[in-house]
Chain A
């Protein structure tokens, strides 16, 4: 107890050094240059939190009967999760539009986009063990492929969807070919650099991409040639089926589209894992040198993983472009790559269900929390809640970052422990 108190005190002293200048003093942009403003309470609260947190950590670590409990928990959770949670989630996803609420369907579409990106990146990071920090580049390639093909050649969504995937996969191979012989951490930095190069190109190649203004009026998708439009023509969905035209039809259609695309990603991944190729990916993740000794062509194996992951990012990109009807380089920053990576890591590298859950919690959960806070703020007329709701997007990345660190430190194998190999020698 004394040791715990002393350690907590020392942590608080360090926190004092960390937080007093950075939080306790704030640089305000005043009318005549910067002014320094004191904020002692915020700093004191943070230092207090560190003290209490450290103390609780010690007490928790020393609690009686700890060993037995952890072993039991880790054995039960994954099996039960795989058997029940996945079908329930799937059913909920299919039934969601029946609520008829535009808000939930939009939110669901957003979450599913991240689920799909997460599953795509999972092939690269989770299965093949290649850390890709520039995944958003392929997402951008997919989105711009569709937007540019539609703008210059008037092609529709359904023709462009596979083309966007092929383009992204092509870029994946183009980038992957020279760099895939690099060590894991070098590869991470190079993919990061590649992602930034693509973004800088998109901003500055104005004649092709319209630069920072982005591309507007990207055509919406059609349902077997039927448009989603408010006029009652024969070639619109509403006119063909003889129903009232409403925007919600298109929103729901887009929702089912991304659901189908995400499930396709999942299905392809699950099937690939049973092929020799998928087995080779997992072997590569565990030990590259052993793989090479056993005669697996490491470069080809890595390249297929890279290209497959990139292809699904391309599909998602084309979907993103058609859903927004507007894209600009703003949407493809490193933050997006980091968000998708956070989802994959939190889900437990390699676990399909984990990725879906992580996307649901991290994207959907935070979005709903923000709306809840702003509603509460409006209802109570409380500045504090509305202010917190406004700040939440800023805190979101802080939470993502902390989650990455905490996950790696506490459960490097993920929440749903998915890093188990598909095939195992017994």
Chain B
């Protein structure tokens, strides 16, 4: 498919741009968690995608629970759900770090990665056993939107949901940026990122900082989970795998360890995926994301905004 008949090319491209940015915001939020953890302890938190999935399930449970309690005002319900899901997903993130990663600090090279893969399998199957394997659909909370460039037969749709997703992401990222740049916690995180051992010698509680990194990353992933649920309206226990790989690709593309890079990479991956689905065979859209990952790792392993890494003995 190259062009939809009767649809102006410009309007079609603009529609894809809007969709791509929305999806990219979600990937960006997850990618921040990967990049933070990698920056500080140099491991790929393989279970991060599954924390995102858990966050998505927690959001759905909270939304249904609030509805049964009679809280139906959309902004209030969304705000409460956001706090609930982010808080509990943060608890999951903390527990995963405490149980599976902390005992392995200083173990051999592959140990934390294998443990992380184990944790990812555990979370997936825990949710599958606990919540069932069937997909969970949800009706749209915020139907409707604005029609732009309406010429009679095709209008660029900007839905309220997309606006909500972009606004929420920007607010959350603003809070997060303030946290990293202006607070003592952010200062110790950046110190640990530069040199973990030295930061410890300077009196920073490195274990606590690493824990909090996981907590923040998990909370951001849960926000992404809520947005994913609102955007697609359907989730299952396996969504964390694909979203995780794509978000990791975003983190690598932006330059792993770089926070603005993660958001930028997320936007790019969102645009690539939506663009591919719009103009090329849609069955292969996941192959596109995976190929981007492989190509970036081969030709530019430091990403767009990353620093070159020197391996020392």
Contact = CB atoms under 8 A, between A and B. Distances in A.
A174 B129 CA distance: 39
B248 A189 contact: yes
A243 interface: no
A25 B134 contact: no
A248 to B, nearest CB: 35
B182 interface: no
B111 A193 contact: no
Given A34-B136, A204-B284, A401-B119, A412 B108 contact: yes
B141 interface: no
Contact of A33 (B92, B133, B139): B139
Contact of A412 (B57, B107, B118, B311): B107
Given A36-B64, A412-B111, A23 B44 contact: no
Contacts of A182: 297-298, 301
Q: Is the interface of A mostly helix, strand, loop or mixed?
A: helix
B122 A398 contact: yes
A345 B120 CA distance: 16
B44 A185 contact: yes
Interface of B: 43-44, 54, 57-58, 60-62, 64-65, 68, 88, 91-92, 95, 99-100, 103-104, 107-115, 117-134, 136-139, 241, 245, 248, 252, 281, 283-284, 286-287, 290-291, 293-294, 297-298, 301, 311, 313
Nearest to B120: A401
Given A21-B58, A22-B126, A397-B124, 8 more contacts: A22-B130, A34-B137, A186-B301, A342-B118, A391-B129, A397-B125, A401-B123, A408-B114
A200 B287 contact: yes
A25 B61 contact: yes
Nearest to A335: B121
Contact of B118 (A179, A203, A404): A404
A405 B119 contact: yes
A395 B125 contact: yes
Contacts, number: 175
A66 to B, nearest CB: 17
B121 A404 contact: yes
Contacts of A185: 43-44, 113
Q: Which of A25, A125, A189 has the most CB of B within 10 A?
A: A189
A97 interface: no
Contacts of A131: 110, 113-114
Contacts of A200: 283-284, 286-287
A121 interface: no
B132 A29 contact: yes
Nearest to B99: A405
Interface in A387-426: 391, 394-395, 397-398, 400-405, 408-409, 412
29 contacts: A17-B88, A18-B88, A18-B95, A23-B130, A26-B130, A27-B57, A27-B131, A27-B136, A33-B137, A34-B138, A36-B64, A129-B110, A179-B297, A189-B248, A193-B290, A193-B293, A197-B291, A200-B284, A200-B286, A391-B129, A397-B121, A397-B125, A398-B121, A401-B120, A404-B118, A405-B100, A408-B114, A409-B100, A409-B103
Given A36-B65, A192-B245, A289-B313, A398 B44 contact: no
A178 B295 CA distance: 9
A201 interface: yes
Contacts of A259: none
Nearest to B129: A394
A334 B125 CA distance: 14
A341 B244 CA distance: 20
Contact of A402 (B62, B92, B118, B293): B118
B88 A21 contact: yes
B129 A338 contact: no
Nearest to B102: A409
B136 A29 contact: yes
A194 interface: yes
Interface in A155-197: 178-179, 182-186, 188-190, 192-194, 196-197
Contacts of B122: 398, 401-402, 405
